[in-house]
């Protein structure tokens, strides 16, 4: 399981919610610092929600499409990485999925599986993908860097990585368990902003 990667890593926010309880209906609003913009969730239960973004009237959201193979979305975790840049995370039956929402330019990413870290200044994300840690552009999905290591034996990439975060100097810090001995390793890696 990932630990808190850095002291400045944003955490999920509590929305302004009406209704409560895992098996009861609820409605939540997650406001951006950008005027009249944010995210909403309308849930029948914690496992059956509609989630969307709004401009102006929160009663008229644009609903997110669930990822292929998933009928409904569960209750979201909303993380405001910046005042107008959110990550909407879902713990689905197929694994964790994130959408990214940039309020000022009204951008919404496609659903992205296994996101471990995000660089909202350069619009990059780090994802577990097979036996690699892959850095992609958030909105285009284009790969900019693939990192393959001798991850801990028998572990998925997600389980082997203990911390990962993007640094302000265009590098990424990654801590992971290496090989059969599960040796703790930390590296700083330069990350390009565009595909190579």
Confidence of residue 5 (pLDDT cuts 50, 70, 90): very low
| Weakest mean pLDDT among 22-26, 47-51, 75-79, 173-177 | 22-26
Q: Domain ranges in the chain? A: 13-113, 114-196
The H-assigned helical ranges of the chain are: 157-160
**Average pLDDT of the residues in 114-132:** 94
Question: Model confidence over 124-140: pLDDT tens digits?
Answer: 999 999 999 999 999 99
**Average pLDDT of the residues in 14-43:** 87
Do 99 and 108 contact (CB within 8 A), yes or no?
yes
Q: What is the rounded CA–CA span in Å between residue 91 and residue 194?
A: 29
Tokens of 118: 């995000």
CB within 8 A of 55, min separation 6: which ones? 36, 37, 106
Confidence of residue 21 (pLDDT cuts 50, 70, 90): low
Give the predicted TM-score (pTM) of the model: 0.89
Q: What is the rounded CA–CA span in Å between residue 89 and residue 112?
A: 9
């Amino acid at each position: 399981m990932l630990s808190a990667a850095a002291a400045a890593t944003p955490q999920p926010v509590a929305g302004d919610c009406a209704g409560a309880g895992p098996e009861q209906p609820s409605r939540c609003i997650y406001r951006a610092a950008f005027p009249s913009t944010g995210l909403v969730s309308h849930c029948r239960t914690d496992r059956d929600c509609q989630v969307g973004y709004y401009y102006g009237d929160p009663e008229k959201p644009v609903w997110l499409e669930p990822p292929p193979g998933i009928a409904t979305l569960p209750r979201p975790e909303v993380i405001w990485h910046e005042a107008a840049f959110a990550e909407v995370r879902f713990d689905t039956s197929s694994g964790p999925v994130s959408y990214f929402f940039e309020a000022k330019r009204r951008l919404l990413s496609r659903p992205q599986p296994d996101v471990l870290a995000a660089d909202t200044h350069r619009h990059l994300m780090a994802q577990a993908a097979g036996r690699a840690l892959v850095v992609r552009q958030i909105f285009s999905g284009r790969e900019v860097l693939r990192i393959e290591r001798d991850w801990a034996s028998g572990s998925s990439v997600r389980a082997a990585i203990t911390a990962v975060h993007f640094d302000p100097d265009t590098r990424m810090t990654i801590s992971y368990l290496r090989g059969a001995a599960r040796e703790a390793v930390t590296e700083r890696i330069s990350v390009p902003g565009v595909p190579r």
